[in-house]
Homo-oligomer: A and B are copies of this chain.
Amino acid sequence: MAKDFVVGIDIGGQSSKLGVVDARGEVLAQSVIPASGSADPKVVVKELAQGVMALISQAGKTGEIRGIGVGAPNGNYYNGTIAFAPNLPWAAHGSVEFAKLLQEACGGIPVSLTNDANAAAMGEMTYGVAKGMKDFIMITLGTGVGSGIVIGGQVLYGSDGFAGELGHTCAVRHNGRLCGCGKTGCLEAYCSAIGVARTAREWLDMSDEKSLLREVQNITSKDVYTAALEGDNLALRVFEYTGKILGQSLADFVEFSAPEAIVLFGGLARAKEFLYEPTLKAMNENLLPLWKGKVRILFSQLKESDAAILGASALAWEL
């Protein structure tokens, strides 16, 4: 039987999302498996495998699955492990041979694994705005900042499988913010959802400027977005600042790998109307003349509910 379908799995701390996908990126069936809370990788893999096999059967594609692609935090493409992933109790304190275990538990269907940002880049290249591109950089602007770098049509893994930690390159060297990773000034400390909320809170503390955000407890990036939509000046400037920091860093990334385009994805990328112009402007101001005005900034257009599954599934076409 022709194997014309793949499975995509997005592993998360709260739940994992599964989908059966065809070559055009249609999700034929999907399900969500809540995290069991178990710290035993074998239990977790067994539950997941049951979910996978049930979903394949439900989609009527038993025997027609080419492979399973997995996107997971701290997933390593080279050796199929998930290691020291703080949000996964079963992989927080060591290295789990996840791809191997899952393949065994799914009756030998080949499994390929990478981290979430690389999976997102594969998804854009296979089904999204980067379709047909050979060289682009995917930046995921979520709770943190992740990245997937594509060079010559291949995701860049580097010598150890961990290339593409652009969220932890230095965006602000002078008095930079402390990042969750322990370093200071990381891009992630400014251009993530958490970074945007932090900028807003810092600026509110620093002045008496009127702002809708003064009425909000525990400001989130979503609050800043809502305030910006209502024309709040401080909120608008927070996005301008965020775009400026992001664009400056993007210029350095372009000078490294000379991509055709940068693709932005993730919760914060929904604030496209406020982020696009300052980001593009700062990128062009910081580029060598040969690249000025030539590198596009694109926003992912994959349906948010499907994107994680699609990204992971894209990996499986290479199996």
Contacts and interface: CB of A to CB of B under 8 A. Distances in A.
A164 B256 contact: yes
A258 B170 contact: no
A160 B255 CA distance: 11
Nearest to A161: B258
A162 interface: yes
* Centre residue among A134, A135, A181 by max chain B CB count within 10 A: A135
B260 A181 contact: no
Contact of A286 (B157, B170, B257): B170
Interface residues of A, number: 42
Contacts of A158: 135, 151, 257-259
Interface string A128-156: 00000011000000000000010110101
Q: How many copies does the complex hold?
A: 2
A260 B260 CA distance: 26
Contacts of A168: 255, 288
A161 B151 CA distance: 12
B157 A258 contact: yes
Given A160-B258, A256-B253, A288 B165 contact: yes
Interface in A272-319: 286, 288-291, 294
A251 interface: yes
A288 B166 contact: no
A291 to B, nearest CB: 8
A101 interface: no
Interface string A45-75: 0000000000000000000000000000000
Contacts of A259: 158-159
Contact of A159 (B135, B289, B290): B135
A93 interface: no
A251 B248 CA distance: 17
Interface of A: 134-135, 149, 151-152, 154, 156-166, 168-170, 172-174, 181-183, 248, 251-253, 255-260, 286, 288-291, 294
Which 10 A/B pairs are nearest by Cβ-Cβ distance? A158-B258, A163-B258, A174-B174, A135-B159, A169-B252, A165-B255, A159-B260, A163-B257, A169-B255, A158-B257
11 contacts: A149-B257, A156-B257, A158-B259, A159-B258, A159-B259, A162-B291, A165-B256, A169-B255, A170-B252, A173-B248, A256-B257
Given A151-B158, A166-B255, 7 more contacts: A152-B154, A160-B258, A160-B294, A162-B258, A162-B290, A165-B255, A173-B174
